[in-house]
Amino acid sequence: MRFSTRGRAASEQFEAYRAFCAPAIDLSLPAECPPQFEVDHLSWDFGRLALTEAWLPGPPSARRWRHLTRDPLDHWCLVLATGPERARLLGFRSLARPFEGEACDTHVLSLYIPRDMFGADAAEFDTLAPVLPETGLSLMLGDYLESLARHLPDLDPATVPAMVEMTRVMLAACLVPQADRLHAARGPLIATLRERARVVVRQHLRAPTLGADLLCRELGVSRSRLYRLFEPLGGVMRYIQRQRLLAAHARLCDTTNSLPIVQIADEMGFPDASGFSRAFKAVFGSTPREVREAALSGLPPAPRAGRPPAPRLDDLGDLLRGLGA
């Protein structure tokens, strides 16, 4: 489901977003901020859970919010907010309890969780601080939330119940950890750690030091655990090499990139041009030169599909009131 203030008059944008959020929170802007407030807001309803993703203006539009005290929705909200400097803030709070805040976040993921999802264990969640540390299990929970949002466009509707149960297990294991909960969440925790490893590889793809030692330091795991983590992907170095080849392929398909092939190879960690060409052809079935020539001839690979259009959402309350029904 989709909501956007784009296309509205600038003077009406913030009030439109405020009305959209009104069933759950009350929003306001400082008097000195202009009312122009371009927002794109996507929502997914999974029956027992709801996830929203919002792209917001950021500075100087510092919005303020407070939870409503009249007829509140008794759900928890796990929030992962990313600011203009890519700094993350992970929060967990009940919509039924007083809470006020102010932020200039540019990207916000919010997972809405009905209290009855955890039954008799619900009281344990009420003891959590509203801001969670970006370390250990909380860090992995934030990574899981980002991974969930990335993969939703490709999610088979038939797998939604399994995804909801996996998310429930992850929440319990990371927020109120106990031995049995951690054991139940072993699969999702491994998948989240593997996803974080992929992010680290992408961030350091051109670094000569990218390898097992760097990954162990960044992930905080032993070498043996790292090897087990990458075993389904063909091993650590094979995975890194494939990601570098994919990046080189993308650059060769870019008709605005005129760097020599040998330089692209060197930047991607292949100082030997002939070795790069052999590895490249083994993966793509064509040499680097053939790929570049095809791109220049107007025959680049088909672009990856983006997110499908989502239906319009008029009111956040409709989404939240249906949770757990």
Say what the pTM is: 0.62
Instruction: Report the pLDDT value the prediction gives residue 300, as an integer from 0 to 100.
Output: 52
Same domain membership, residue 110 and residue 17: yes
How many helices and strands (H and E) does the chain possess? Answer: 13, 10
Return the DSSP state at 51. Answer: E
Q: What is the CATH number of the domain that holds 256?
A: 1.10.10.60
Which of 182, 198, 214 finishes a domain? 198
Same domain membership, residue 216 and residue 178: no
Which of 198, 220, 236 finishes a domain? 198
Same domain membership, residue 113 and residue 254: no
Q: Is residue 322 part of a domain?
A: no
Q: Is residue 234 part of a domain?
A: yes
219 burial class (0-12, 13-18, 19+ CB within 10 angstroms)?
Answer: middle
- Tell me the pLDDT tens digit for each residue of 188-246: 778 778 888 888 998 999 999 999 999 999 888 899 989 988 888 889 999 999 999 98
Instruction: Report the pLDDT value the prediction gives residue 321, as an integer from 0 to 100.
Output: 52
Same domain membership, residue 186 and residue 233: no
Q: Is residue 44 part of a domain?
A: yes
Residue listed under structure tokens 């960044």: 218
- Tell me the pLDDT tens digit for each residue of 124-138: 888 888 888 877 888
Question: Cα separations (Å) of 168 from 146, 147, 171, 257, 272?
Answer: 16, 15, 5, 46, 49
Number of domains, the chain: 2
Instruction: Report the pLDDT value the prediction gives residue 304, as an integer from 0 to 100.
Output: 37
Q: Is residue 325 part of a domain?
A: no
Same domain membership, residue 231 and residue 143: no
Residue 166 reports pLDDT greater than 50 = yes
Mean pLDDT score of the chain, rounded to an integer?
A: 82
Instruction: Report the pLDDT value the prediction gives residue 306, as an integer from 0 to 100.
Output: 40
- Tell me the pLDDT tens digit for each residue of 267-309: 999 988 899 999 998 888 889 999 898 888 876 553 333 444 4
Same domain membership, residue 208 and residue 192: no
Same domain membership, residue 71 and residue 114: yes
Same domain membership, residue 286 and residue 155: no
- Percentage of the chain modeled with pLDDT above 90: 21
Q: Is residue 319 part of a domain?
A: no
Domain of 89 in residue numbering reads as 2-198
Q: Give residue 314's pLDDT band: very low, low, confident or very high (50, 70, 90).
A: low
Same domain membership, residue 73 and residue 210: no
Residue 120 reports pLDDT greater than 60 = yes
For the four alpha carbons of 78, 83, 88 and 89, in that order, the dihedral sign comes to negative
Same domain membership, residue 264 and residue 190: no
Same domain membership, residue 170 and residue 242: no
Mean pLDDT of all residues in 41-52: 88
62 or 278: which leads in pLDDT: 278
Q: Is residue 52 part of a domain?
A: yes
Which of 183, 198, 213 finishes a domain? 198
129 burial class (0-12, 13-18, 19+ CB within 10 angstroms)?
Answer: exposed
Q: Is residue 309 part of a domain?
A: no
Which H or E run contains 256? none
Same domain membership, residue 138 and residue 220: no
Q: Is residue 59 part of a domain?
A: yes
Instruction: Report the pLDDT value the prediction gives residue 187, as an integer from 0 to 100.
Output: 75
Instruction: Report the pLDDT value the prediction gives residue 79, as an integer from 0 to 100.
Output: 93
User: How far is it between the farthest Cα atoms of the chain?
Assistant: 70
